[in-house]
Structure 1
Amino acid sequence: MCLRRTKEDDLAFVIEAERDRHNSLYVGQWNEQEHRDALRDPDILHIIIEDAAGEQAGYVIVTGLTDPNLSICIKRIVVVKKGSGYGKETLRLLKEWLFRSTSAHRLWLDVKTHNAKAHHIYEGAGFTPEGTLRECVKAGDRFDSLHILSILRTEYEAGR
């Protein structure tokens, strides 16, 4: 498995993965132009997850690379090849790169409260629950709540 920067010709895969019925309940939806703009934004890292054969297995969006508070957000992780450990390995690689190659102090993410599997993976990766944003995301005719989780540089370094 490896991570590489997303290219414009990956965007059809990204949109399809995001809209897939197994993912769309759990992640935000951007249109193609929003993804295209993200590829050029110095604050955003848009990454493709590839399997050992070089096939697209998912994607990641990281924001806050230029945040003056050194707080970086994993905005979205979408895996299409589920059950193969791509999500866990992606988290491990992201944490390693962000805490070893940037001045990040805090890495955080949010997860919909009904996504218990992802919440469990994040806690297993060392992220600490911080709280809940109640009914903050409109999802069709309902509102979803988000759990906020984070890991600090000191926690990452202590757990290495």
Structure 2
Amino acid sequence: MNEILIEGKRLRLRRANVTDLNYIMTLQFTPENLKFIVPFNREYHHAIIASDGSEKLDVIVEEIDTGLAAGYFMLRKMDSPCVEFTHVIIGRKGLGYGREALNLLLKWAFEIKDFHRVWIDCKDYNKIALHLYESLGFVREGFLREYLLTNGVYENLIVLGMLDREYFSTD
């Protein structure tokens, strides 16, 4: 059975299961997504899915009307008051699903799970994602210079965060 975390008008977020592994791996290694993330192997995701979800969680973004997967998120540090959103990947681009899914994830994190802070990092050249995160209320908290080595090139990361009081002040 698929554990539903939260539903919106068009999308639902649900806990990933083993039948989602191929989808997750395909999304990670699609060239337009891969340049913005550090992928994890199938075994890593399988371990997350098989776990109780108290530390890490793979989440599938799913269309309510069709039941089709539209993206996936990975959450880490679920056992602390400050959860990390990572691998924010939308497979069905150009439909506003990124904004809608992140709004649902923020609602789930703050209103249902009662996290104090959520944070995300983003490569500094991922302008579309940075614009989306900041438009949702994420605040730039830091800049990690030459933090990741990708294909022989060091890349910068921008760390963004949102506190519970910031989330609730936007209602």
Q: Which residue pairs with 1:141 in the alignment?
A: 152
Partner residue in 2 for 1:116: 127
Query: What is the distance in 2 between the residues matched to 1:47 and 1:29?
Result: 15
| Stretches of structure 2 lacking an aligned partner (at least 5 in a row) | 1-10
> Which of 31, 34, 38 is residue 44 of structure 2 equivalent to?
34
Of the three residues 43, 48, 57, the one matched with 2:70 is 57
Q: Which amino acid aligns with 1:6?
A: A
User: 2:162: which partner in 1?
Assistant: 151
Residue 9 of structure 1 pairs with residue 22 of structure 2 = no
CA RMSD of aligned residues (A): 0.9
The alignment's TM-score, normalised by the length of structure 1, stands at 0.95
Instruction: Report the Cα distance in structure 2 between the residues aligned to 1:82 and 1:103, rounded to whole angstroms.
Output: 29
Q: Which amino acid aligns with 1:149?
A: L
Farther-moved stretch of structure 1 (97-106 vs 23-32): 97-106
Distance 2:55 2:97 in 1: 24
Q: Which runs of 4+ in 1 moved over 4 A?
A: none
- Pairwise mapping of residues 89-104 of structure 1 onto structure 2 (< 5 A)? 89-104=100-115
Cα displacement string for residues 55-112 of structure 1 (whole angstroms, at most 9, x for unaligned residues): 1111000111101xx1111011111111111111111001101101123111100000
Answer yes or no: is 1:43 the counterpart of 2:45: no
CA distance in 1, matches of 2:39, 2:106: 24
**Aligned-partner Cα distance in 2 for 1:103–1:54:** 28
Give the 3-state SS of the residue equivalent to 1:84 in structure 2.
coil
**2:107 alignment partner, SS class:** helix
Using structure 2 for the length normalisation, give the TM-score: 0.89
Counterpart amino acid of residue 41 in structure 2:
N
In the other structure, the counterpart of 1:107 is 118
Task: Pick one of 79, 85, 93 that aligns with 1:66.
Answer: 79
Structure 2: distance between partners of 1:76 and 1:44: 12
Deviation at 1:44, TM superposition (A): 1.0
1:138 offset after TM fit, Å?
A: 1.3
Distance 1:103 1:2 in 2: 19
CA apart distance, 1:21:
0.8
Identity fraction in percent: 30
